[in-house]
Amino acid sequence: TTVSVSATASHPIPTTLWGQMFEDISHVRESVRIFFKGLNPPRAGMEDCTPNCSKIALFNKLPQHCNKDTTAALNAWLPIGESSINVVADPSPLSSALPNSLVLVIPPNVKRDVGFANTGYWGINFVKDTQYTASLNYRVPAFLSPLNSPPTLTISLLAEDGSTLAAHSTELALVDGWTEVDIVLTPDRTPPSLANRFAVTVSNATHTSPAGIEVHFALLSLFPPTFKGRKNGMRTDIAQALADAKPAFFRFPGGNNLEGQTTATRWQWRNTVGPLSQRPGRVGDWSYINTDGLGLLEYLHWCEDLDMEPFMAVWDGYSLGGSSVTGDALGPFIAEAIEQINFVIGDPNTSEAAALRASLGHAEPFKLRFVEIGNEDFVGQAPGTVASRWNWFATNLSATFPQLHFMATSRSSGPALTPTPEIYDAHNGLRQTHSYTTLCRLRNGIKFFEGEYASTSTNSSNLYGTPEQGRLLWPTVAASVGEAAFMMGFERNADIVFSSSYAPLLGHVNNSQWTPNLVGFDAGKVYKSTSYHVQKVRTAPSPPLLTATPQLFANNRGDEYLPSTLPNNSTSATLIWSVTRWTATNQLIIKISNSAAASQDLTFVLPFESVSSVGSLELLTGAATTSNTPAAPDLIAPVASRIPVGTIFNYTAPATSFSIITLTAQ
C-alpha cells in the first residue's frame, strides 16, 4: 500500500482531542482514595447491599440508604474480642447528613481488648515507613458503673496474622459529645499480603454494667499518601497512571452515575461539597452506595493538578428509571444546574454557591468552558426521554452563561434539537474508523465529542453480553488496535470531532460492574491495559527522535492534520493510518493500525525537501487475544526503536499492531 502525504494541512487538531471520562462505577470513587469501605460505618456496610437497598431508600426520608441492624450493614467490619458491633440510627448523630453510627458494645467484666476492624476495599496495602492518615469520631453515651481507671482507645494497622504494624493510643474520653481523633500511622514493615486490617480497640474497660458500655463511632477513614498531598485526594499510584496519559480534559461525574434511578437519587453537587460530615452520600447507579467523599471540589482540584479542562455535566431531568421531568417542573433543576456552574465559576460577591466555593478555600473561579447537559440521554429517542428538556436547559443556561459551550447528549442520528446544539456528546460507540467521515457529516456545522467508546466484545451482534458471549474482561491487543483505528478517524475528522474519551476509565478488579476498563487496580497495584498504552498521547512536541518511554496516542497528538491517501473505506479494512504534524518542530507523526493477522507493507511518500533519515518508532503489538491482567500486568507494552525513514520509505506493520513513526520533515 502506498500512502502519499500532503504537505498542506487540512485542519487543526484541537487541543481537547484526547481526554478522560470518570464516573463512580466498579467502586472507583472511594477506593482510588481511601482504604476502607466508606467514610461512615453504615454506608460502609451498605456497600454490598444491592438494588433492594435503593428501593428501601425510596421510602426512607432519612438518607439511610439501607437497612440498619443487618449483617449486610456490617459488611467489611469485624468485631474484635468479646465485643459486639452494630449499625444504628444514632439518636445523637455526628451530623444530620450521617445519621447512623457504628456501635461497639463492651460487655461487663471484659478481660481483654475489644473493638472492631475493617478489611478495606478487598484488602489494604501497607508499606513500611509510609504515612497513613486515620481519623474517626466517637462518643460514649451515659454509662452506669464507674471504671477503675480510664480506658484507652487504640487505632492500629494490623497484618494478616494479627501482628501490629503501627498503633496509636489515647485515653478514651468518657463524654457523650463527639470527639474527633486524627492521627498518622507509619508501619514498621511491609506485610506480605494485602489481607491487612485497620483496627480500633478499647483496653482497660472492665466494668459491671449488665447492659454493657456503648461507644458510638462515625466517619472513620484511612488515607494513604495522596497525589500532590491533597487532603481528601487520590491514591498516588492510580493518580500518577492517569496523569501520565496527559489528558486534556476530565469529563465528570458520569456516565449513568449522574442520572440516578429516580429524580431523588440523582447526583446532586451540593451534597458533595463541604466537610465530609455534611455529605450524606447517595444510592449510586451501579448497585452500591456512593459516599461522595470525592466531590465536586475534589474533581476541580484534580483538574487543576493535571492541568485538564473540566467537562462538567449537569443533571437534566432524566433518570435511569425511564422518566423525565418536563416543562415548568424543570425550573428547580435548572436553578440547581445554574448554582452548580456558579460554584465553579461564579463571583463570590453575587452568588451564594460561589461564596461557598470561596469559603472552602478557592476564591478564584475555576477554568470552565464546556458543560454537558445530562448523560447519554438520547433526548427524544429513547422511551421516557423528552426532547424539549434540551430546549429548557440550553436556553436558560446559555442565557445565564453566554461564555460557556453546552453539549447535548444525543445520538447524531437523533431528532433535530432546538436550539441547534453546538456540540453533541454522541456515544456512537466504536464503529468503523470512517464513522465521522460519513454519518456525522449529516449534522452540518455541529461538533462532536465521542465521550464514551471502547472495544467491548468480540461479538458484534452482542456488544454488552457475557464473557461467554464475547464480552471482554480486559482490553486485548486486537481491541486496542481497533480503538486506534477508530481514534484515527477522529484525527481525520478533527474539524468536527473536537474531543473523545474512552470509558470506563477505571475499575476495581475485585468488584467491577463493567468490563473492560482502561485501567484496573486493586488495593495494592495498578494495571495498565493495552488500551491505556494506546491512549497515551503526547501533548507537546517530543524531542526529534526517541523518547525514553514509548508513549502512544495522547502523547503524539500533533496540532494539524495532513491529508494522505484515504485508507480503504470498508468495514473489513484492516490497515488504517493517519498523519499529523507539530508545526513548531516540523515533526510528522504517522500512526498505523494493522488489525490483520498478518503483517502489511506500506510505502510512505512525503512531499518535503528535507526529511530526517532516522525516525522513532513506538510499537504496540502482540497476539490478538492477549491482555494485560493482574496475573501478567506488563505482558504487552509499547516498545521504542529507531527506523530508517526518508522522503520515500517502507514500513512493515506487524500483525495486530499499532505503530507511531515520528520524523522531522520540512
Q: Which residues bind ligand AHR (CB under 6 A)?
A: 23, 25, 254-256, 375-376, 452, 503-504, 514
In whole angstroms, the minimum distance from the beta carbon of 153 to ligand AHR comes to 41
In whole angstroms, the minimum distance from the beta carbon of 329 to ligand AHR comes to 24
In whole angstroms, the minimum distance from the beta carbon of 202 to ligand AHR comes to 43
Name the residue among 395, 345, 396, 335 with its Cα closest to residue 370: 345
Q: Which is nearer to ligand AHR, 45 or 504 (CB)?
A: 504
In whole angstroms, the minimum distance from the beta carbon of 370 to ligand AHR comes to 17
Taking the C-alpha atoms of residue 462 and residue 318, their distance in angstroms, rounded to an integer, is 26
Q: Write out the three cell numbers for 318.
A: 432524566
In whole angstroms, the minimum distance from the beta carbon of 254 to ligand AHR comes to 6
Angstrom distances, CA of residue 68 to CA of 41, 43, 180, 212, 248: 10, 10, 23, 20, 43
Instruction: Yes or no: say if 205 and 213 are a contact pair by the CB < 8 Å rule.
Output: yes
In whole angstroms, the minimum distance from the beta carbon of 21 to ligand AHR comes to 8
Name the residue among 648, 613, 493, 496 with its Cα closest to residue 563: 493
Q: Report the residue number whose CB is nearest to ligand AHR.
A: 255
Q: Write out the three cell numbers for 276.
A: 465530609
Strand partners, 151: none
Q: Which is nearer to ligand AHR, 183 or 382 (CB)?
A: 382
Q: Which residues contact 441 (CB under 8 A, 6 or more apart)?
A: 496
Taking the C-alpha atoms of residue 350 and residue 364, their distance in angstroms, rounded to an integer, is 13
In whole angstroms, the minimum distance from the beta carbon of 291 to ligand AHR comes to 19
In whole angstroms, the minimum distance from the beta carbon of 504 to ligand AHR comes to 4
Q: Which is nearer to ligand AHR, 23 or 522 (CB)?
A: 23
Q: Which is nearer to ligand AHR, 360 or 382 (CB)?
A: 382
In whole angstroms, the minimum distance from the beta carbon of 505 to ligand AHR comes to 9
Instruction: Yes or no: say if 477 and 626 are a contact pair by the CB < 8 Å rule.
Output: yes
Taking the C-alpha atoms of residue 289 and residue 46, their distance in angstroms, rounded to an integer, is 6
**What DSSP designation does 444 have?**
T
Half-sphere exposure of 280 (CA within 13 A, CB side): 19
Q: Which is nearer to ligand AHR, 138 or 267 (CB)?
A: 267
Q: Which is nearer to ligand AHR, 464 or 605 (CB)?
A: 464
Angle in degrees, CA 475, 480, 482, rounded to 5: 130
In whole angstroms, the minimum distance from the beta carbon of 183 to ligand AHR comes to 37
Taking the C-alpha atoms of residue 11 and residue 29, their distance in angstroms, rounded to an integer, is 38
Q: Which residues contact 413 (CB under 8 A, 6 or more apart)?
A: 439
Q: Which is nearer to ligand AHR, 100 or 529 (CB)?
A: 529
**What DSSP designation does 405 have?**
E
Name the residue among 292, 295, 302, 307 with its Cα closest to residue 356: 295
Q: Which is nearer to ligand AHR, 255 or 615 (CB)?
A: 255
Q: Which is nearer to ligand AHR, 475 or 504 (CB)?
A: 504
In whole angstroms, the minimum distance from the beta carbon of 384 to ligand AHR comes to 15
Q: Which is nearer to ligand AHR, 41 or 520 (CB)?
A: 520
In whole angstroms, the minimum distance from the beta carbon of 286 to ligand AHR comes to 8
Write down the H helix ranges in 106-221.
none
Backbone angles phi, psi at 390, to 5 degrees: -60, -45
Q: Write out the three cell numbers for 79.
A: 468485631
In whole angstroms, the minimum distance from the beta carbon of 464 to ligand AHR comes to 9
Q: Which is nearer to ligand AHR, 118 or 515 (CB)?
A: 515
Taking the C-alpha atoms of residue 366 and residue 363, their distance in angstroms, rounded to an integer, is 9
Peptide bond into 51 cis (omega under 30): no
Q: Which is nearer to ligand AHR, 316 or 339 (CB)?
A: 316
Q: b vs e for 400-429, b when ≥16 Cβ sit within 10 Å of the residue's Cβ?
A: ebeebbbbbbbbbebeebeeebbbbbbbbe
Please report, as a single letter, which amino acid is at residue 182: D
Q: Which is nearer to ligand AHR, 90 or 452 (CB)?
A: 452
Strand partners, 362: none
Q: Write out the three cell numbers for 234.
A: 487520590
Instruction: Yes or no: say if 153 and 170 are a contact pair by the CB < 8 Å rule.
Output: yes
Q: Write out the three cell numbers for 74.
A: 456490617
In whole angstroms, the minimum distance from the beta carbon of 460 to ligand AHR comes to 18
Give the SS3 label for residue 276: helix
Q: Which is nearer to ligand AHR, 123 or 504 (CB)?
A: 504
